[in-house]
Amino acid sequence: MKKENTSQGVKEIARRANVSTATVDRVLHNRTGVSEKTKKRINEIIKELDYQPNLLASRLASKKIISIAIVIPSVSEETDFWEAPLRGVRRAEAEIKQYGVSTQVFFFDLNDKDSFSGKIAEVLRGDFQGVLISPSYIEETTKFAAECELRKIPFVFIDSNIPELHSLSYIGPHLFKSGYVGAKLLTYRLERDKKILIINISKEIDNFNYQKIEEGFRSYFQDRGQSGEIVRIDIRETDYQSVARHLTYVFHLNKDIGAAFVTNSRVHTVASFLKNSHRTHVSLIGFDFISENVAYLENNVIDFLICHRPEDQGYRGIMALYQTLVVNAQVSKLSYMPIDIVTKENYEFYHN
């Protein structure tokens, strides 16, 4: 069947299902008034015929603009990580704008809870049919999600997840397995009887993401019956001076630390400390292919970077909303990104 012949396609589906074209139209547009049995039969015929309505003509005829809000951190002195998801958003936007889809980006300061609260309040004051968001603050995101549910606005999480909230989809890393991989990599030159240091650097320490990453990390050693001591430090101030002060203290108390694992992209801050304090013998692993981290990877201070293709996260997040709002198709509740391992030897060939 020619996919562009919408009228004939609907008539053929109606003929085969022995229903009216109006009933087929209700199913195609997910409207009420059709029994589950009839809906199932029509959907089976649609699948059998590989039927797709002429989406472009339909959208142009409706003249309705679908607006999607994107709530992500701004690029800062600490990290340029969020340049990559934004590139993905722009790539998706270029593909779907012909269908009457527009996007608006709301940037917040990753270290400022009030900035995040202010931006999500702006979104709720606007007229948006879908939201792509990085849920950086749990309490504020929970309230925002409840309001979106009330208004029937689908929202997609990228990079971080809050599983108990009813997001349309989560697109990002499998946190437990990312931590597990980090532990496995860390052992490649870990000396016997040396301690391992886990470092969380974030304003929002009590975060599901860090908990799952650390759980995966510790599970690797538990699965192998390795009893080496693991020391953990939480650092809520993210500037270099504060990080250096906390690390100086923990290294003073634990002189036999042989390896360090940073649970997010701020691994370059730890790398800077290790270099400045002449502790580059400590193996170091963290997350994300950002320029600050790559510089220390190139200079052998960071051993490995674990990466999750943030540009694709932004792209797939927008496309998930497009599939729901425009195509009326189902999307995966969980969409995990590959766990890429970047080294000094291969970083030149890696695309984020």
Dump the DSSP string for 46-109.
Answer: HHHHT----HHHHHHHH-PPEEEEEEEEPP-SS--TTHHHHHHHHHHHHHHGGGTEEEEEEEE-
Q: What was the pLDDT predicted at 220?
A: 96
* Closest residue by Cα to residue 195 from 252, 138, 148, 255: 255
What count of other Cβ atoms lies within 10 Å of the Cβ of residue 163?
Answer: 12
Give the architecture-level CATH label for domain 62-171+310-337: 3-Layer(aba) Sandwich (3.40)
Output the CA torsion 44→45→49→50 (10° steps): -40
Q: What is the pTM of this model?
A: 0.82
What count of other Cβ atoms lies within 10 Å of the Cβ of residue 165?
Answer: 18
Domain pair 6-53 / 175-307, same fold? no
* Closest residue by Cα to residue 141 from 71, 195, 76, 64: 71
CA atoms of 80 and 74, how far apart (whole Å): 8
What is the number of alpha carbons within 13 Å of residue 122 lying toward its C-beta? Answer: 15
The DSSP symbol for 187 reads G
Sign for the CA dihedral angle at 311, 114, 266, 225 comes to: negative
Taking domain 175-307, whether its CATH number is 3.40.50.2300 is answered by yes
* Closest residue by Cα to residue 197 from 165, 229, 219: 229
The DSSP symbol for 203 reads S
Dump the DSSP string for 122-162.
Answer: HHHHS--SEEEE---SHHHHHHHHHHHHHHT--EEEESS--
CA atoms of 270 and 213, how far apart (whole Å): 18
Q: Kindly tell me the burial class for residue 193, based on how many C-beta atoms sit within 10 Å of its own C-beta (0-12, 13-18, 19 or more).
A: exposed
Residue with tokens 């400022």: 112
Tens of pLDDT along the chain (352 residues)?
A: 444 445 567 788 888 889 988 898 788 777 788 998 999 888 888 877 766 666 656 666 666 889 999 999 998 777 789 999 999 999 999 988 888 899 999 999 988 999 999 999 999 999 999 999 999 899 999 999 999 999 999 999 999 999 999 999 999 999 999 999 999 999 988 888 899 999 999 887 566 788 899 999 999 999 988 777 999 999 999 899 999 999 999 999 999 999 999 999 999 999 999 999 999 999 999 999 999 999 999 999 999 999 999 999 999 999 999 999 988 888 999 999 999 999 999 999 998 8
Residue with tokens 């943030």: 310
CATH topology for the 6-53 domain: 434 Repressor (Amino-terminal Domain) (1.10.260)
Q: What was the pLDDT predicted at 256?
A: 94
Sign for the CA dihedral angle at 87, 88, 90, 94 comes to: positive
Domain ranges of the chain: 6-53, 62-171+310-337, 175-307
